[in-house]
Amino acid sequence: MWTCRRLLSRAPSITRSFRSSCVAPNSYLSDVLVSSLQISQKSKDVLTQEMGYEFLTHVQKDTLPLVLDGHDVLAKGKTGNGKTIAFLLPSLERMLRHPQHPQDKISMLVISPTRELAQQIAVEAVKLTNVHDLRTSCFMGGNSIKKDLKELIQSGGIDVLVSTPGRLQAHLEDNSGHIRQKLDCLQVLVLDEADRLLDMGFRRDIIRIISHLPKQRQTLLFSATLPAATDELKNVALRDDYIFVDTLEGNDQQTNAQAVQEYVVCDLKEVIPVVEKILEEHMQLPAYKVIVFLPTARSAQFMAHLFQAADFSNVLEMHSRKSQSARTKAASAFRSGKKMIMFSSDVSARGVDYPDVSLVLQVGLTDRDQYIHRLGRTARAGMDGRGILVLADFEAAVLNDLADLPLTELQRKPQQDPPHSRTTRALANVRSRSELQLSAEKAYAAFLGFYNSNLKKLRMSKTELVKTGALYSQLIGLEKVPLLQRKTLRAMGLMGTEGIIPATSTPNRVKGRDNNAGETRVPSRTNGSSYSSLQNRKKGKKGNFRNEPGQAFNGKKMKPYRDVHTHEGNSSD
């Protein structure tokens, strides 16, 4: 491990001060033709014929020669501008020029914060590696550990490995597939969405992973933002002579300039009707694709169920409470579909590329980085797009953090007649113990957990939070405020707060269903569901090796939890 690192301010840097002329048709493209690159003809053919590239994007133009020359690179830039190819292409070309001996070693390792982004990177990597008879694999939670191990030991091995931190750390600790030995000649390490890796609590996992890797390697660190927390990661991962590449112009915003950005502030009771009206108006377009971001997985789940019950067509949900197979199926349907609406938590906020997203609708409290990355799902690759932020009045303080962004108040507030709206009718007809009611109860518990962790930002007391939560429970169709378990209330620090009545006993759980809608436990930050499966396999225990929602490895025991802080549970294992 290196003990001395150059600070970012002292690192050699490349900052793009102007855009190229109109030779390339879109502002996000440079004037460098793919056909002019000094790379293999097979790679050129894939880029031009299969991926549709004629010109490099600016981030590709700025980083490709540096990576080809073997430099460590720290790259900062807006999302949606081709960064995946910016690190895959030159890294692959270096692998071709310097092949591994023996051939069962992993040459390139890409670490991604989320499963969805890992899958997307792997798909792009397969296109490039297949034509060179190289093999790409993707390891992530929700997929079979047995399948991972089979790929590790198969003849020919793995050339490019894309993985989420939790699954990779589990393999490194167990080492049943001899992954440590297969990584001891690693040529290139890529940390994609580095700021997100840290946001999601993977700092320790990343440090441990790097400790298993050879020091003589090339490291590429890509990030849309560079908060102070990334300093430690830079110091541990990058060599002293790394080069900093800033692909933003001096007057360029991190948000997509092509996206129209608007906001609306309303009473809490108006939030769902306003969202409904915005969607109804947008659905009048001949073609549309909408992502609706919510603060928690449970609120995304509830809103999807509500709009499905209100007879909105083509409604999907994407969050960590869905199984990995369900999330993969939903992502595929959204990518290929027309006139789609997807309610999502932040598993879709970073890096994931969904084509032709016409509207990003953000509902509820957010922060600057989160807002920017969510908005990045629209207006990608030079296309137009629109973003609307819907806030309840008690959340309006967040606008201060967004004051320097081109965000304007929606000129015409969507008018909706709540008693006659489709969602109001759906809520009025909620059946006892129906899926919608169970979703509402879980959304209430997540509401308390999320806003309890943001009281300082909201300048709200715990008593005010409890009152607001009670109102929220009514607005989402619940006749009574759900009772939460004492453990849950103690974890939130709400035990004894005026207006809170704890449940008197723990409800029985029915196999296959989470009956305790209000149960929320403090998570272990070590995500070890896959590791536990490895341990079970070593002990001769049977298991399906699936990353079950709400499971975390905690010491020697597996304890169910719902993450009251990140609200994403094991979404990124």
Tell me the longest C-alpha to C-alpha distance in the chain. Answer: 72
DSSP 423-486: HHHHHHTPPTT-HHHHHHHHHHHHHHHHHHTTHHHHT--HHHHHHHHHHHHHHTT-SSPPPPPH
DSSP 500-546: ----SSPPPPPTTS---TT---PPPS---HHHHHHHHHHTT------
pLDDT digits (tens, 9 = 90+) for 483-506: 999 999 999 999 999 999 899 865
Whether 24 has a pLDDT exceeding 60, the answer reads no
Residues 297-325 have a mean pLDDT of 94
The answer to whether the Cα torsion of 259, 298, 445, 275 is positive or negative is positive
Tell me, what amino acid is at 272?
I
Question: Are β-strands 55-57 and 218-223 bridged in parallel, bridged antiparallel, or unpaired?
Answer: unpaired
pLDDT at 372: 86
pLDDT at 202: 85
Cβ neighbour number for residue 248 with a 10 Å cutoff: 16
pLDDT at 342: 97
Residues 386-414 have a mean pLDDT of 92
Name the residue ranges covered by the structural domains of the chain: 60-246, 259-428
Distance CA 195, CA 156 (A): 34
Secondary structure percentages of the chain, helix, strand, coil, to 5:
40, 15, 45
Return the closest-CA partner of residue 177 out of 144, 210, 206, 202: 144
Instruction: List Cα–Cα distances, 107 to 88, 98, 131, 243, 546, in angstroms.
Output: 12, 10, 17, 22, 28
Angle between helices 165-174 and 203-211 (to 10 degrees): 40
Angle between helices 115-130 and 324-336 (to 10 degrees): 70
H/E segment holding residue 368: helix 368-375
Topology adopted by domain 60-246: Rossmann fold (3.40.50)
Contacts of residue 286, defined as CB under 8 A and 6 or more positions apart, other chains included, come to none
Return the closest-CA partner of residue 192 out of 237, 148, 150, 155: 237
List the structure tokens of 402: 């967004």
Tell me phi and psi for residue 359, to 5 degrees.
Answer: -145, 130
pLDDT at 515: 39
pLDDT at 521: 33
Percent share of the chain, pLDDT over 70:
78
Whether 139 has a pLDDT exceeding 70, the answer reads yes
Measured in whole angstroms, how far is the alpha carbon of residue 499 from the centre of its chain?
A: 35
pTM here?
Answer: 0.62
User: Where residue 249 falls among pLDDT bands split at 50, 70, 90?
Assistant: low
259-428 CATH, one of 3.30.420.10, 3.40.50.300, 3.40.47.10, 3.90.1150.10: 3.40.50.300
Whether 137 has a pLDDT exceeding 80, the answer reads yes
Q: Is the peptide bond before 102 cis (omega within 30 degrees of 0)?
A: yes
Contacts of residue 336, defined as CB under 8 A and 6 or more positions apart, other chains included, come to none
Question: Are β-strands 340-344 and 407-409 bridged in parallel, bridged antiparallel, or unpaired?
Answer: unpaired
